Structure 1
Amino acid sequence: MPIARWAFDIRQPLLLEHIEPLVTSLTADNGPNIVPVTNLLNFLPKIECDRILRFRAEDDMRRALIGRLMIHAFFAAHHGCHWEELVFSRSETNKPILLKPDHLRNISFNISHHGNWVLLVGDTSVESTLRLGIDVMDFQKQVPEESFDTFLRCFQDQFTKGELAFMNSAPLDQDASSRSDDQFRRFYRLWCLKESVVKTLGVGIDFNLQSFEFVIQNEEEVLEPTLSTRMDVYVPSDLLPREGWFFEEALLDQDHCYAIAALTDTPESVEQGSVMDGSVITRLDWKELLKDAVPYPFS
C-alpha cells in the first residue's frame, strides 16, 4: 500500500493493560482498569506535552495527544524509526513537520481531528514525491437551531456555483428537517474535500477556495472508499496544478466523513490504484497505537 491511512476513535477507554509495561506510575481516577490519557504524555517530548496541556477541554487535549502519538507510531511502523529519536517542528501554517531523522524530512504526512475521530495519512515510500492532506468532519450542526440557508450565507464565497448547486439539490421528497440535515452533510463533505486540498498544499485559510471545484459522482457517501470524486482547477498555478490529483472519501460512521487528497509531480506515470487502492481505512486501538512507544528522556 503506497500510503498509510489510520483512524482512531478518541472514545476508546485507555485500559491499564495497554500501558502497564511501559510506565511505572499510574492513576485510575475513572475506575480500577481505566487510566487517564495524560499518562501518555510520557511518550512525547516536553515541548509537545506543554502545547497539549494548554488545551482546557478534555476532548481537545485527547485529540491533540492522540494525533501526536499517531505521527510517532507512523514513522516507527513504516520507516523503522526509534520512537524517542523523532524530532518535529511546525511549519508557518502550524503543520507538523519532521526534522530528524534527516533522510525522512521529505516524507509527506498529515493529521486531522474533529468530533470523535483522529485521522492520519502518511507516505510509506522514501522515494515517492506524493504530497498528502486529510480532513475529517463531524456532521453535527454547530448551532442546532440554525437553518441551512442561514448557515450557508457565511460560507457562500468559499464554494463554486456547482458546489452550491450540489448542496442545494438534496432530495426534495423528505420533510424539511431531513432535507436540511442532508444539505448540512453535503456541506461538510465538500468542506472536508476542500480542506484536504488546502492541507496538501500547506497554505493558509486565506487561500482562494473558489479556484477549484469538486465534482461528486457518487451522491451518497458510504463506508467503502469512494475514488470517483474529481477536482476541476479553474485557476491553475505552480502552487495549484491542474493535473496529478487523487482523492478518496468515505464515512467513518453515520456522524463523520473523511477525505484524503494526494498530489504527485509526475501524474503521467501514476495510476489511481497505485495511490488510492480502495481499501478501508485502518482503525487503530490503543494496543496498536502504542506498540512501539517508549518514554522520552525527561528534560
Structure 2
Amino acid sequence: MLYTTVVDIKEVIHPQQWNNLLTYIDKERREKLNNLHFPMDKKRSLVGGVLIKNMLLEHFSIDASKLSFCRTFFGKPYLREYDGIYYNLSHSGDFVCCSVSDTEVGIDIEEINKSVDLNDFEPFFSTSEWRQVTHDSKNKHDTFFSLWTLKESYVKKIGVGLSKDFTSFSLKFKDPIELVDSEKASHQEQFLLNTVDQKYKLAICSEQCQNNQQKEIVLSELFPVY
C-alpha cells in the first residue's frame, strides 16, 4: 500500500483556525514551529503536521494523538509504536506533500527555479547524470530538478539523507527509471516522477510505486472542520 497526498497551501489560515490546528499537531513539531522565523515556513510545518496525522487515520485507522513521532540519527522520521508503517514529508513553495505506506518510502518536491546556477551542483551528480542535465540546453533546469528530486527521494527512502555521497549512485531516465548504486549489490526501489502545478517536480521512491494512490487537495479539504 502506498498513499500520497499533495496539498496546495495558498489558501489563508485564519487566526482561530491556526490556534486550533496547533493543538492538533504533535508537541515536538509545535515547539519547532514556534521557533521558525518566516510565516511561510511556519505554515508549511503546520500543514505537514496535520497532513501526516490525517493520512495515518484515513489509510491505517491510526489515532495519531497517541503516537511518538521520532527520528533516526540521520533524520529519517518513524513511528515508535508502529514498526510496519512508514511516512515521509516534503514541502516547497506553495505545496506540502506526504506519502504513507507499509514499506519504506521517500518523497521530495522542489519548485523549478530557473535562476539557480546549475554549475554549483555538478559535484553532486554522476558523470552520466550530468550529461542528461546538459544534453538539452533549453530544458536543463527541468531535467536538473527532476534528477534532484529523484535523488532526494532515494536517500530519504533508505534513511541516510545527505550523509550519503550523491555521486555513489546514479539515475537514468528510462521506463522504468534506472538506478545504479555502487554501495548496494541489488535493490528493489522504484520511482515515480510527476510535475505539479506546471512548476514543481515531485518524486517518490518506494518498493511499490506501481500501487501509489495519489491525490491533490487544497487546505479547506485538509481540515474542513477547523
What TM-score do you get using the length of structure 2 for normalisation?
0.89
Say yes or no: does 1:200 pair with 2:157.
yes
Deviation at 1:250, TM superposition (A): 0.7
**Are the aligned partners of 2:106 and 2:204 in contact in 1 as well (CA < 8 Å)?**
yes
- CA, structure 1 residues 204+83, in 2 after alignment: closer, same or farther (shift >3 Å)? closer
Distance 2:19 2:136 in 1: 43
Superposed counterparts of 1:6-17, under 5 Å:
6-14=5-13
Distance 1:76 1:183 in 2: 40
Distance 1:275 1:47 in 2: 30
Q: Which residue of 2 aligns with 1:75?
A: 56
Q: Which residue of 2 aligns with 1:87?
A: 68
2:198 maps to which of 236, 246, 254? 254
Q: Return the letter of the residue paired with 1:131.
A: E
Structure 1 unaligned spans of 5+: 16-25, 28-34, 172-178, 218-226, 264-273, 294-299
2:95 maps to which of 117, 127, 148? 117
Q: Which residue of 2 aligns with 1:30?
A: none
- CA, structure 1 residues 184+81, in 2 after alignment: closer, same or farther (shift >3 Å)? same
2:86 maps to which of 99, 108, 111? 108
- CA, structure 1 residues 3+93, in 2 after alignment: closer, same or farther (shift >3 Å)? same
Deviation at 1:46, TM superposition (A): 3.1
Q: Which residue of 2 aligns with 1:276?
A: 210
- CA, structure 1 residues 187+216, in 2 after alignment: closer, same or farther (shift >3 Å)? same
Q: Give aligned pairs, total.
A: 226
Deviation at 1:96, TM superposition (A): 2.5
Q: Which residue of 2 aligns with 1:190?
A: 147
**Are the aligned partners of 1:73 and 1:292 in contact in 2 as well (CA < 8 Å)?**
no
Superposed counterparts of 1:164-243, under 5 Å:
164-170=130-136, 179=138, 182-217=139-174, 228-233=176-181, 235-237=182-184, 241-243=185-187
**Are the aligned partners of 1:121 and 1:133 in contact in 2 as well (CA < 8 Å)?**
yes
1:155 maps to which of 113, 121, 146? 121
Q: Which residue of 1 aligns with 2:222?
A: 289
Deviation at 1:231, TM superposition (A): 1.3
Distance 1:198 1:4 in 2: 19
Q: Secondary structure at the match of 2:162?
A: coil
- CA, structure 1 residues 169+140, in 2 after alignment: closer, same or farther (shift >3 Å)? same
Which one has the bigger helix percentage? 2
Deviation at 1:292, TM superposition (A): 8.8
Deviation at 1:291, TM superposition (A): 6.5
Q: Which residue of 1 aligns with 2:34?
A: 53
**Are the aligned partners of 1:249 and 1:257 in contact in 2 as well (CA < 8 Å)?**
yes
Q: Return the letter of the residue paired with 1:243.
A: H
Deviation at 1:53, TM superposition (A): 1.1
Structure 2 unaligned spans of 5+: none
Q: Deviations over 1:83-120 (max 9, x none)?
A: 42222122222333212xx2x23312100111111111
Q: Which moved more, 1:78-87 or 1:252-261?
A: 78-87
Distance 1:245 1:47 in 2: 31
Distance 1:77 1:286 in 2: 16
Distance 2:19 2:77 in 1: 21
Distance 1:214 1:198 in 2: 12
Q: Return the letter of the residue paired with 2:71.
A: R
Distance 2:55 2:198 in 1: 27
